Structure 1
Amino acid sequence: MSKMITYVVTFENRRWVARCPTGEVEGVGVASSLSRLERDLAEIHAWAWPAETPGVEFVFDLPEEIAEVVAEYSRERKLAEAHTRRAAELAVKAAKVLTSHWSEPDTARVMGLSKQRVHQLKVSA
């Protein structure tokens, strides 16, 4: 399933509505939940393209005030994930450096971690 078909999704009259702007799928998909909408579209894809069923991708067309909040959340989440990855890298580095000078229990105390976690970090690749 390497190919994806993109749908523009809106919320209209208390239902999620999906339209395919490229015309690969005609008509409109409608469901009360996004998960139901995605399942319905996946079933249509499996029926229409049984040999190589394309995936379903959503692009949300949301009201401006909602889109701004979602965009801000997405930016912050990506930033937090980057910080989490960097903190994990630094934890390994710190554990290795500190345990070359001190015991694992003392290193754990300095780092605010359990001695088991310090040991895991120290022996990690």
Structure 2
Amino acid sequence: MSKTITYVITYEHGRWVSRCPTGETEGVGVAGSLSQLERDLTEVHAWAWPEDTPGVKFVFDLPEEVAGMVAEYYHEKELAEAHTKRAAELAVRVAKTLTDHWSEPDTARVMGLSKQRVHQLKVSA
């Protein structure tokens, strides 16, 4: 897959509608579900470009009343993923440091984890 073709997706009259703003494909795609729309577009790509089939990317043009909520959700999700990654990194560092001084069961109690999880963290990377 050499490239990806981006489609702007809207919800109109009870159906999902795709349009390609860059002109790689003409017309519109219409389907009752996003998964069906993606399958249809993937099939069109495979037919039109059998040797080097482009991927499909959706950009949603949502009504104003939900676009803000969706943007906020993605922002919070991104923050949560960053915090989760940081917490995982700290868990390894803390488990290794504490088990240099205390037993794995005592470290587990301090960290609020199982003994098995502390052992996993201690021996990881």
TM-score by length of 2: 0.99
- Give the secondary structure class of the aligned counterpart of 1:8: strand
Cα deviation, residue 2, structure 1: 2.8
1:15-44 alpha-carbon deviations (Å, 9 max, x no partner): 000001111101110000000000000000
Distance in 1, matches of 2:13 and 2:3, equals: 31
| 1:120 corresponding residue in structure 2 | 120
Identical aligned residues as a percent: 79
1:76-91 counterparts in 2 under 5 A? 76-91=76-91
Show structure 2 runs of 5+ residues with no match: none
Q: Which residues of structure 1 form unaligned runs of 5+?
A: none
Output the amino acid matched with 2:101: H
Q: Distance in 1 between matches of 2:22 and 2:88?
A: 42
RMSD of aligned Cα (Å): 0.5
Aligned residues: 125
Normalized against structure 1, the TM-score is what?
0.99
After TM superposition, the runs of 4+ consecutive aligned structure 1 residues lying more than 3 A away are none
Matches of 1:6 and 1:100, distance apart in 2: 52
**Distance in 1 of aligned mates of 2:18 and 2:89:** 41
